[in-house]
Amino acid sequence: MNWYKIAQLDIPSILYHATFRNNIESIKQRGLVPSFNGIVKCWPDCKNGVYLHSDPDVAYSYAEIADNPDIPEEWFEDENNVVVLEINTITLDKNLFEIDPNLPSEQIGSYLYNGTIPSNTIIRII
């Protein structure tokens, strides 16, 4: 059993996902897709999925310091290229959430969603 997976996680109704502005059109069409099949994640060694945080500033910082050679260098040159998506989690399958397995257990507020997050759950782009 994955000890990060907890049957009854208390998932906030609003979570945040940071990405690069260059990805917005694809996200509008396909939703937030787990990191596979050509989708570039911020760190190559992280588990596939969609990472979300309860604090928009922390979510922003994850994309801001991304360390993956597949992310074009010019995406980091414009400080306005990182955007934060505000996500309504109410309709998402709670069984697909787990605590972020890449962080120490005492770090709270970071989650991994093991599925696609539909674009209609995006409340706004910050």
- Residue 34's pLDDT band (cuts 50, 70, 90): confident
Q: What is the average per-residue pLDDT within 54-81?
A: 75
User: For residue 20, what are the β-bridge partners?
Assistant: 82
All domains in the chain, ordered by first residue? 14-125 (3.20.170.30)
Q: Is residue 1 scored above 70 in pLDDT?
A: no
Average pLDDT, the chain: 81
| Nearest residue to 51 via CA among 125, 4, 5, 102 | 102
Confidence band, pLDDT 50/70/90 cuts, at residue 3: very low
Decide if 109 contacts 62 (C-beta within 8 A): no
CA angle 58, 62, 65 (to 5 degrees): 125
CA–CA dist 83, 98 (Å, integer): 23
Binning pLDDT at 50, 70 and 90, where does residue 2 land? very low
Look at residues 121, 116, 118, 122 and name the one whose alpha carbon lies nearest to residue 33: 116
Q: Per residue in 90-112, pLDDT tens? A: 999 999 999 988 877 667 899 99
- Tell me the CB-side half-sphere exposure of residue 63, using CA atoms within 13 A: 29
